[in-house]
Amino acid sequence: MFARNPVSIVLLSILCLLLLLCLAGFLFTVFKTAAIRAAYPNMGERIDIGGYAMNSVLMPATADADLPPIVFVHGASGNLRDQLFAFAKPLQGRAEMLYVDRPGFGYSDRGGPQNGFPDGQADAIAAVMDKRGIKKAIIVGHSFGGAVVATFALRHPDKVLGLVFLSPATHPWPGGIAWYNSAAKMPYVGWLLTHIVTLPVGLTLLDAGTKSVFAPNHRPDNYVANTAPGLLLQPSAFRANATDIANLLDYTKKVSPFYSQITAPTVIITGDADNVVSPVLHSQALHRAIAGSQLVTVHNMGHKSDYVANDLAIEAIETLAGIPHDLQLTARRVDARLVNDHE
């Protein structure tokens, strides 16, 4: 008989425990992903654009509509519900509105490797516009969506009536990216991380995470229930998001020098308390690059300008459609409102 080695027994026990934890995480991810999709079913229509499907919601205009078509592009960690619940109700009937799940998010397929970059995603959105019969539109993008919208303006200027950038991420920044984004895009490590770890951990951080994106402003009480940020925690979506963010820095280094070629009428809205995307590095730089653009900075506002300054964003859309507004005055009114909210 061979004597049992106590060290080997301990190591084997630890290995078995780790395997059980991995299995538990995997099964939890499978069942919870199904539960999240059941709780937040697809609101849109999946349309094939050439080998993969893009999901979108098209809201019709009424006969007395006073605005041209509008296309909304959501940011990182989001889906089309984020912009839809911000703009659909206040703009109902005034314009034909297209809300798109970017490739790999919500209920859109990821498509090919080109969709890991804003140019591939811009082309995908242009293809959805063609399928939906929208020839030209005001294109609105929040956060990461700003990089997609800027690229869209460069690659598809014939489809652009105007551009609204809401707290955009468009330029290079110092430093790098979070370690988990780099890990999640890796071939094997990424699969393990997104199928075992990210969903159970992400659910515990969801409430605090969404509040931090709004900070220092108040997150609407119904925001999580309406916008389904849990859809991001699906393995494929989390990996798509990580890949997008990991690729963005080098992408903006290559593309941002060409923003000066954008000629479409442009409004850029940002908050000076945005701790997610620097208004100095991004919005101010974008304003300098696009001749004739209008930069509107709201004091005391964080990253979620699409919600916190929703009235200002709508006035920006109206301005591009030929309905004049004093956007700087409205920005001061938003600031006064935010100050009152904190008192």
List the one residue out of 137, 99, 141, 103 whose CA is nearest residue 120: 103
pLDDT over 60 at 182, yes or no = yes
Q: Is the pLDDT of residue 183 over 80?
A: no
pLDDT digits (tens, 9 = 90+) for 235-251: 999 999 999 999 999 99
Nearest CA among 18, 2, 22, 21 for reference residue 10: 18
Task: Say how far apart CA 190 and CA 239 lie, in whole Å.
Answer: 7
Residue 342: predicted pLDDT: 64
Instruction: Pick 176 or 166 by higher pLDDT.
Output: 166
DSSP-based helix, strand, coil % in the chain, nearest 5: 55, 15, 30
Q: How far apart are CA 326 and CA 265, in angstroms?
A: 16
- Summarize pLDDT for 65-117 with one digit per residue, the tens: 999 999 999 999 999 999 999 999 999 999 999 999 999 999 999 999 999 99
Give the integer Cα–Cα distance in Å for 189 and 204: 22
Q: Would you state the pLDDT for residue 1?
A: 41
pLDDT averaged over the chain? 93
Q: For residue 317, name the pLDDT band (cuts at 50, 70, 90).
A: very high
Helices (H), the chain: 6-39, 80-87, 118-132, 144-155, 179-184, 189-192, 198-214, 223-227, 235-255, 285-289, 305-308, 310-320, 327-342
Task: Tell me which of 320 and 185 has the higher pLDDT.
Answer: 320
Q: Lowest-confidence range among 122-136, 177-191, 265-279, 322-336?
A: 177-191
- When pLDDT is cut at 50, 70 and 90, the band that residue 4 belongs to is low
* Cβ-based neighbours of 118, under 8 Å, separated by 6 or more: 147, 148, 150, 151, 248, 251, 255
Model pLDDT, residue 2 = 42
- Mean local confidence (pLDDT), 20-33: 83
Average confidence (pLDDT) over 41-59: 97
DSSP string, 317-328: HHHHTT----HH
Q: How many helices (H) and strands (E) does the chain have?
A: 13, 8
| pLDDT tens, residue by residue, 184-213 | 777 878 888 888 888 999 999 999 999 999
Q: What percent of the chain has pLDDT over 90?
A: 82
Indicate if the pLDDT at residue 220 is higher than 80. Answer: yes
Q: State the fold for domain 45-342.
A: Rossmann fold (3.40.50)
CA-nearest of 66, 220, 252 to 154 is 252
- Residue 343: pLDDT band (50, 70, 90) is low
